[in-house]
Amino acid sequence: MQFTFHGAGREVGRSCIELDNTFLFDAGLKITEHGTEFPTNFDHTKIQAVLLSHAHLDHTGALPLFNHEGMKCPIFTTRMTKLMTQVLLEDSFHIELITHIHPAYHENNIFNVLKHFQDVNYDKEYSVPSISGATFQFLDAGHIPGSASILLKYKGKNILYTGDVNQQTTLLLEGAHYALKNVDVMITESTYGDRGHPDRKQTEQRFISIIEEVLNAGGSVLLPSFAVGRAQELLILLSQSKLECPIYLDGMAKKVMDICISNQMFVRDAAALRRAQKRVRYITSPMDRKKVLQENCIIITTSGMVTGGPVMDYLKMMFFEPKHALLLTGYQGDGTNGRLLLQEKAAFVDGKKVRWEGRIEQFDFSAHAGQPDLIGAVQRIRPTHLIINHGDEIAMETLAQQVKGFAKKIYMPQVDETVEI
């Protein structure tokens, strides 16, 4: 078997693993300071099935491009991943993330590629019609709603692709808890291969108490958030707190919230999510944005790294008032406003660098397994071959050192490298 890593080799982004020119695990893109990077070249038209782990663009963003280039095979994934992928691809098209690089790419390719999606339920075994003897199973990965690790049986071997995975149960999702034996090849993510996370409960408590302080001092709180998963988790947390101020939701997260509400089997506690939705008010027009700041409130809005979207409108209205606070709830990539805010308390708004006068704090609400959980998974599964991907150089190498005794052979492919097993 040949596994070729068309992306996510010693990097995070553009996950796209081709197996024997027959299967594809994910088809993502990578967003960098300098633009968008796609998976390296191969013949997409020969692929028989795409097995899609979850909706994030670093796993789905290249699908419309592959459609444009003639890929016509079924794309197997959960119903939730399909719905979320549609939201994220359409948004990425409208903010011209993809069209900048590929002028040939058309919005129709999003529509067309979605027609090839086929629903898969967790834990059920499916066969691949065009390949005799090949079966696959999607296992809840606990990363975002609908996310899965994938177990593929092919050529008599058991292949486990973790996708992005989180074993810790959060307010929104049950952690991944699958147990597997006889895994011949395990392909694991390694985003946090070199570090763990602080205790979630303590993080939640610190988060709420800082919000309380800011509100009591007469300020409002701006929460830039990723639309899928993070915004819903924060809403549950806020709705369960004793905070009495209005809570507003803006941007793409509203659409995602509605999808989660109508597909409740993909969240851990549907009643908690419904209560959160009752507690929150949606912002529906730019006019509203001005109005809400006349009172002390909490605003959750996209984008999570402050790179665009409605959060920019709020920044403009709030940056000069020391009483307001900006709480970052996720990873802030290099070259993003979020990173700049953390480093210099400043952000680029309409091309001008402006200083945020109020408080800025960052919280680790990560949806990825920390190092101890990544090690624990390899230790339990004890695969014959372990392939580490979806992590930067240091994360991958640190993880490889830690799991040395638990796999016969460990690989850390570069982008475009083929691992032969």
- The site for Zn ion (CB under 5 A) is made up of 56, 58, 164
Q: How far is the CB of 13 from Zn ion (least distance, A)?
A: 7
- Judged by beta carbon, residue 59 or residue 385, the one nearer Zn ion is 59
Q: Look up residue 210 and give its two tokens.
A: 């800082």
Judging by DSSP bridges, how do beta strands 185-188 and 221-224 pair with one another? unpaired
- The strand pairing partners of 93, in sequence order, are none
Distance separating alpha carbons of residues 207 and 172, to the nearest angstrom: 16
DSSP-derived 3-state class of residue 219: coil
Q: How far is the CB of 420 from Zn ion (least distance, A)?
A: 25
- Judged by beta carbon, residue 58 or residue 250, the one nearer Zn ion is 58
Helix H, strand E, coil C: the string for 386-413 is EEECCCCHHHHHHHHHHCHHHCCEEECC
Q: How far is the CB of 165 from Zn ion (least distance, A)?
A: 9
Q: How far is the CB of 143 from Zn ion (least distance, A)?
A: 6
- The strand pairing partners of 135, in sequence order, are 127, 153
Q: How far is the CB of 2 from Zn ion (least distance, A)?
A: 23
Q: How many CB atoms lie within 10 A of CB 111?
A: 14
- Judged by beta carbon, residue 11 or residue 164, the one nearer Zn ion is 164
Q: Look up residue 399 and give its two tokens.
A: 């993880």
- Judged by beta carbon, residue 81 or residue 337, the one nearer Zn ion is 81
Q: Which residue has the tokens 């090839």?
A: 116
Helix extents (H) in 153-268: 200-216, 230-240, 253-262
- The strand pairing partners of 119, in sequence order, are 77
Tell me the chain's radius of gyration from C-alpha atoms.
21
Q: How far is the CB of 192 from Zn ion (least distance, A)?
A: 12
CB 98 within 8 A of CB 90: no
- Judged by beta carbon, residue 58 or residue 194, the one nearer Zn ion is 58
Judging by DSSP bridges, how do beta strands 148-154 and 135-140 pair with one another? antiparallel
Distance separating alpha carbons of residues 80 and 315, to the nearest angstrom: 32
Q: How far is the CB of 118 from Zn ion (least distance, A)?
A: 21
- Judged by beta carbon, residue 230 or residue 324, the one nearer Zn ion is 230
Residue 153: CB partners within 8 Å, gap ≥ 6? 133, 134, 135, 136, 159
Q: How far is the CB of 10 from Zn ion (least distance, A)?
A: 14
- Judged by beta carbon, residue 361 or residue 364, the one nearer Zn ion is 364
Question: How much helix, strand and coil, in percent to the nearest 5, is found in the chain?
Answer: 30, 20, 45
Q: How far is the CB of 172 from Zn ion (least distance, A)?
A: 14
Please, what is the angle between helix 200-216 and helix 230-240, to 10°? 70
